[in-house]
Amino acid sequence: MVSPIKRPDWDEYFLKLTFLVAERSTCRRHHVGAVIVKDKHILATGYNGAPSGCKDCLELGCLREELNIPSGQRHEVCRGVHAEQNAIIQAAIHNVNIAGATMYCTHSPCIICAKMIVNAKIKRFVTYKDYADESFKKLFLEAGVEFVQLPLPKLEISLLL
């Protein structure tokens, strides 16, 4: 008998995980999750929010919202650390080599994160959604980082009990 459940391929599987990671976000504007993977093994995860041990936007309110700053602009005003940055930082804290890895993320990166991705030697970036800033595309092309944009995965868990 054929199973009624479609098993996700690896890209869809890891991209779906980014949405679970994003649930930890403390940002009031966008919940973003990132997962770094190499050889089908999760190396690190990250979500966007205030630096560890600091008050976040859920508690203090959003500075960017208060100042009416659009997405993709004036990153220095935000108190949050981006999901991609947190995933790279987690790998560094735990001495995990992410060179040659794939980063899966709920959104495409801002230019600041793109620079970090290039310098971390991540070779592939997979997402489903465009961020307001598309300047990363030229950098990724120049640096040889493959950019893959997939359709939104089915965001429900399918299993047989």
Q: Are 134 and 111 in contact (CB under 8 A)?
A: no
Long-range contacts of 145-154 (CB under 8 A, 24+ apart): 145/114, 145/117, 145/118, 147/108, 148/11, 148/124, 149/108, 150/11, 150/12, 150/15, 150/126, 152/128, 153/8, 153/12, 153/15, 153/16, 153/19, 153/128, 154/8, 154/16
What Å distances lie between residue 142 and 58, 114, 126, 146, CA to CA? 38, 12, 17, 10
Q: Which residues are catalytic?
A: 84
Q: Are 17 and 84 in contact (CB under 8 A)?
A: no
